Chains A and B, each alone.
Chain A
Amino acid sequence: AQSVSQHNHHVILSEAASLELGCNYSYGGTVNLFWYVQYPGQHLQLLLKYFSGDPLVKGIKGFEAEFIKSKFSFNLRKPSVQWSDTAEYFCAVNSGNAGNMLTFGGGTRLMVKP
Chain B
Amino acid sequence: DTGVSQDPRHKITKRGQNVTFRCDPISEHNRLYWYRQTLGQGPEFLTYFQNEAQLEKSRLLSDRFSAERPKGSFSTLEIQRTEQGDSAMYLCASSRDTEAFFGQGTRLTVV
**Residue-wise interface mask of B (90-111) relative to A, using a CB-CB cutoff of 8 A (1 in contact, 0 not):** 0101010011111111000000
User: What CA separation (Å) do A43 and B7 show in the bound complex?
Assistant: 14
Residues of A near B4 (CB, < 8 A) are 43
User: What CA separation (Å) do A100 and B55 show in the bound complex?
Assistant: 12
**Could you pull out 20 A-B pairs where Cβ atoms are within 8 angstroms?**
A6-B42, A36-B102, A42-B104, A43-B3, A43-B4, A43-B102, A43-B105, A44-B93, A46-B99, A46-B100, A51-B98, A99-B33, A99-B48, A99-B50, A99-B55, A101-B45, A104-B42, A104-B44, A106-B40, A106-B41
Residues of B near A99 (CB, < 8 A) are 31, 33, 48, 50, 55-56
User: What CA separation (Å) do A42 and B3 show in the bound complex?
Assistant: 12
Interface of A is mostly: loop
Residues of A near B45 (CB, < 8 A) are 101-103
Across the interface, A44 reaches (CB within 8 A) one of B40, B50, B91, B95, namely: B91
CB-CB contacts below 8 Å: A71-114 with B? 90, 92, 94, 98-107
Q: How many residues on the A side are at the interface (Cβ–Cβ under 8 A)?
A: 25
Please give 11 more A-B residue pairs, beta carbons under 8 A apart, in addition to A6-B42, A44-B93. Answer: A9-B40, A43-B105, A44-B91, A44-B102, A46-B100, A92-B42, A99-B50, A100-B31, A100-B100, A101-B56, A106-B42
Contact B56 A107 (CB under 8 A): no
- Are A104 and B43 CB-contacts (below 8 A) given A44-B91, A99-B31? yes
Contact A49 B48 (CB under 8 A): no
In this complex, what residue of B is CB-closest to A99?
B48
Residues of A near B41 (CB, < 8 A) are 106-107
Across the interface, A43 reaches (CB within 8 A) one of B31, B55, B103, namely: B103
Contact A43 B104 (CB under 8 A): yes
